[in-house]
Structure 1
Amino acid sequence: MLFGVVLLDMIGFGIVIPILPFLSPTLGADKLDIAMIIASYAVCAGLCGPFWGRLSDRIGRKPVIMICMTGAAACYGLLAMASELWMIYAARAGAGLMAGNLGVASAMMADFTGSGERARGMGLIGAAFGLGLVLGPVIGGLLSVDGSFLVPCLFAGGMSLLAVAAAGLFLRESLPRQHRAEQRAERAAAPAESLWALLGRTRSRLLLTQFVLHTASVSAFTYLFPLWVGDLLAWGPHEVGIVFGIQGAIMATSQGLLMGPLVRLAGEIPLLRSCAGLFLLGLAIAVSASGMTGMLASVFVGLTGATLCMPVLQSLTSRRTPAALRGRMMGAAASASAWGRVLGPLLAGALLTHFGYRTAWSCFAVVVAVYFSWTLAQPREDDHPHPA
């Protein structure tokens, strides 16, 4: 049921994202405004991720998920009614403030799954995310009739409200009142601890850094690729949409169906190394590619590797963290990912503007090489550090 709730919510998210660059100019936005509108969501999500995680440790995962989705629905409604540019800024910033779902859903999946199945469970969350980003833009495109964005925005809000209803009726709380009371007593008995201290105690400071590096590189990839093929191959939104649609289907299939068998076959750390290596290979191909074959190979190889890395990073994070603090830590991981989504496109845009595509691809290849080298330093025993 958690998969279905996340999927419904992400379909709403996916409907809105592709229409923002077209909606905003109708109210006087320039290219800088569009970038700032997109960044405002990620910044607010990065600021609020830890808060939602801590709150879910105290009042339960299910109420927080429902609160966040209700807030998202209200923001989609504001976007639908936007008649001035500031309303779009407010709607997207508000949606970012309410974007606690993925971190809390990851904590809920960690509650539901044992150590051996944790990566597979995180893969299902990733599959719902990917499938929503495939279906959402398709639905949004079909609903955007005659340049009107009212219907797709209202439909997105309706999907979030449907997800709220589904969660309320069918989603089981993974952290019942008795467990919360026990964990509250456990936290009270321990000395007060900052997030930085918690990251140090659980050996997770560098681990959370990988969330930033990973999402920054993925976001840069998805920012650069459409511009790259547009300039070199004269491709437009239709061709790029097909490529990203195929990649989204690969993402949903690999995370939903392949993650469990791959972890059982290889173990989490070896799988993480292999997938980070694929991501690096995709960027290396992009550095030297000059034709369609190389450009397509770079996106399918690179993003397929990146797709399989994230569930393993989430699994490692949850298993290094005491159950009483799991929501707080998964919220921090979601926040780190949000900051990566801010930094990646900004850095990629600056590199592209001043130095060109090859330098931009090369710099992010170096970033992923740092990420890959970190995976090589991780001990194999991290595959099963402690019981859930």
Structure 2
Amino acid sequence: MNNQSISRLNWARTLQWRHILPVFFIVCTFAAGTAAVLPVLPFHIRGMGGSPFLLGVIISVEAMGQFASGPMLGQLSDRFGRKRVLIASQAVAAASLLLLALAPSITFILLARVLLGLTAGNIAVTAAYVADHTDAASRRQAMGILMGGAGVGGILGAGLSGLLSDTSLTAPILVAFGLVLLSILVTAFSLDDAPAAPRSNDKIQEEQPSFRSILASPGIRVLIVVMLCHFFAYGMYVSQMPVFLGDTFIWNGHAFGAKELSYLIMADGAINVFAQIFLLGWLGKYVSDRSLILIIFALISAGFLTAGFATTIPILFLAVLCVSMGDALAKPTYMAALSNHVPLERQGLVLGGAQSLVAVADIASPVLGGFILGYALYGIWIGAAVAMATTGALLAATLLPRESRAEA
């Protein structure tokens, strides 16, 4: 057996596929449900008289729910097991989608998105489940596979939304509801329900989900600040991109709408699958976390600038390629880097807490972006996103170590 075959065999054993594949499918179906809603949501809100600023507020309150729930869901999964917490959060997500489909006014849309935001911590729970079943050496690849499931789901969900949006703007939401119910069934029958690691009752009682405990490590503090810069810049862009394109971009002779947005989300999903399942594993052999983070910021900055000047569909797709590639590489890289700084029994707490802290950026960036676009200041909108990405790149270049090292 040659060295390449041995390497592949060891990689397959290390990754524990029997644990990772069910989570991949769960994330895929849940992401498909979320992606089915995204193309129609901005136009659904506009149809009820909502402004770009109001769209930003609705996205922001969803992030507020994530801020509140991240550490709590993570710690509960550390204590009671990933499966129970994941099923509970999926059930709340299903209820929020049903409420969104039946919403008679923007007030109910707001409430539905708050409920959905409360379930956002389930990403940290699935990531903690993957961390439970991988070692530090293979964790970034495993996180990439996990996020690749979100990319596959994004393609499927956006495709369904594009097909159904001509029927009505609520039809994709009802499909999303069904997909989340499917993810609950898969979770119930495919995951084990053991806590991350055995712990004493005294330790459980003493440990509370506090941001002080999450920020205890200097390495974690730096990573979270860099993540805040990334997600603030990305949030500025992605939350208002449908509004920007709807106002400025002509797609084959007609205005940019929900169907065209579904095409971009499908492209984003395809890029995510390629980057997270294939490209990330290859880069992991040659590139440190610090270097990869700098590449990520360069990609999203180039994408923001290209989107600002795009006048044709190929140039617009180039912008999506850069931004989507950068964001696809970012999520598993950040999660794996954080995971490698903490012991197994604190994975859920730290990953959930970090997600909650990053939600601060998701709260502020859509509102700021909506305020700027409310005055049609497109250049300032792009410039603010690029400036924040540049800040994150400078912090990563100066504060992160040149070689990534996992802490025990």
Compute the TM-score of the two structures, normalised by the length of structure 1: 0.87
Go from structure 1 to structure 2 and tell me whether the alpha carbon gap of 1:77 and 1:317 turns closer, same or farther (over 3 Å shift): same
CA spacing shift, 1:121–1:199, aligned 2, 3 Å: same
Who is 1:300 aligned against?
321
Note if contact 1:207-1:317 (Cα within 8 Å) is conserved in structure 2: yes
Letter in 1 for 2:88: I
- 1:338 corresponds to: 359
AA aligned to 1:380 is: R
8 Å contact kept, 2:162–2:262:
no
Aligned-partner Cα distance in 2 for 1:138–1:335: 30
Contact preservation (8 Å) 1:211, 1:336: no
Give the gaps of 5 or more residues in structure 1.
none
Work out which of the residue numbers 181, 188, 194 in structure 1 matches 2:199: 181
CA distance in 1, matches of 2:298, 2:165: 40
Q: Measured at CA, do residues 76 and 244 of structure 1 come closer, stay the same or move farther in structure 2, by a change above 3 Å?
A: closer
Decide whether aligned partners of structure 1 residues 185 and 216 sit closer, same or farther in structure 2, where only a CA change above 3 A counts. same
**Greater helix proportion:** 1
Using a 3 Å threshold, how does the CA distance of structure 1 residues 261 and 175 change in structure 2: closer, same or farther? farther
Structure 2 counterparts to residues 217-256 of structure 1, below 5 A: 217-235=233-251, 236-237=256-257, 238-256=259-277
**CA deviation after TM superposition for structure 1 residue 16, in Å:** 2.1
Deviation per CA, 1:69-105, whole angstroms, max 9, x where unpaired? 0111122222233334433222221222232211111
CA distance in 1, matches of 2:165, 2:249: 27
Structure 1 range deviating more: 79-88 or 51-60: 79-88
Q: Distance in 1 between matches of 2:298 and 2:50?
A: 40
Q: What is the CA–CA distance in structure 2 between the aligned matches of 1:64 and 1:144, rounded to whole Å?
A: 33
Partner residue, 2:175: 155
> Does 1:214 pair with 2:230?
yes
Aligned length: 380
Q: Which amino acid aligns with 2:405?
A: H
Q: 1:28/1:299 Cα in 2 relative to 1: closer, same or farther (>3 Å)?
A: closer
Aligned partner (choices 187, 191, 195) of residue 171 of structure 1: 191
Partner of 2:291: 270
Whether the 8 Å CA contact 2:70–2:356 is kept in 1: the answer is yes
Aligned-pair RMSD on alpha carbons? Answer: 2.8
What CA deviation, in whole Å up to 9, does each residue of 1:200-257 have, x standing for no partner?
3353223212222212211222245444445554231244443342232111211122
Cα gap change, 1:231 to 1:107, in 2 (>3 Å): same
SS at match of 1:320: coil
Q: State which of 97, 100, 104 in structure 1 corresponds to 2:125.
A: 104
Contact 1:60 1:180 in 2 (8 A): no
Q: Is the 8 A contact 2:158 2:265 kept in 1?
A: no
Tell me which residue corresponds to 1:347. 368
Identify the range of structure 1 (335-344 vs 25-34) with the bigger mean alpha-carbon deviation: 25-34
> Where do 1:1-388 residues align within 5 Å?
1-24=22-45, 29=50, 32-144=53-165, 146-147=167-168, 149=170, 151-173=171-193, 175=195, 179-181=197-199, 186=203, 194-201=210-217, 203-235=219-251, 236-237=256-257, 238-285=259-306, 289=309, 291-292=311-312, 295-354=316-375, 356-377=377-398, 378-381=400-403, 383-387=404-408
1:279-302 per-position Cα deviation (integer Å, ceiling 9, x unaligned) = 233345556x36436554333223
Answer yes or no: is the 8 Å Cα contact 2:24–2:145 preserved in 1: yes
Q: Find the aligned partners of 1:37 and 1:193 in 2 and give their Cα distance.
A: 26
Return closer, same or farther for 1:115/1:155 CA change in 2, 3 Å cut-off: same
The one-letter amino acid of 1:322's match is P
8 Å Cα contact 2:231/2:361 also seen in 1:
yes
d(CA) in 2 for partners of 1:229, 1:88: 23
- C-alpha separation in 1, matches of 2:116 and 2:70: 12
CA apart distance, 1:29: 4.7
Deviates more, 1:228-237 or 1:164-173: 228-237
Classify 1:113/1:202 alpha carbon distance in 2 versus 1 (closer, same or farther; 3 Å). farther
The verdict on how the C-alpha distance between 1:380 and 1:133 changes in structure 2, with shifts beyond 3 A counting, is: same
Identity of matched residues, %: 27
Q: What does residue 12 of structure 2 align with?
A: none
Using a 3 Å threshold, how does the CA distance of structure 1 residues 193 and 124 change in structure 2: closer, same or farther?
Answer: closer
* Matched residue type, 1:215: F
TM-aligned CA distance change 1:284 to 1:23, over 3 Å: closer
TM-score (norm 2): 0.83
